[in-house]
């Protein structure tokens, strides 16, 4: 499984920090998972 993790700062709240992780098998065409976290809560999707 491949993963990428990015730290993001939304334009609407530049002082906030979120972490975005995208994971996938082989290539993005076979599907992928998304996880967004603010360090206290996390939201996932596929």
| Tokens found for residue 3 | 């993963």
Phi, psi of 28 (to 5 degrees): -65, -20
pTM over 0.75: yes
pLDDT in tens, 1-46: 889 999 999 999 999 999 999 998 887 677 889 999 999 999 998 6
Domains of the chain by start residue, with CATH: 2-45 (2.170.210.10)
Is the distance from CB of 34 to CB of 28 less than 8 angstroms? Answer: no
């Amino acid at each position: 499984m491949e993963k990428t993790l990015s730290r993001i700062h939304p334009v609407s709240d530049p002082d906030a920090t979120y972490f975005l992780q995208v994971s996938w098998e082989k290539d993005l065409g076979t599907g992928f998972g998304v996880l967004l976290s603010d360090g206290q809560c996390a939201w996932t999707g596929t």
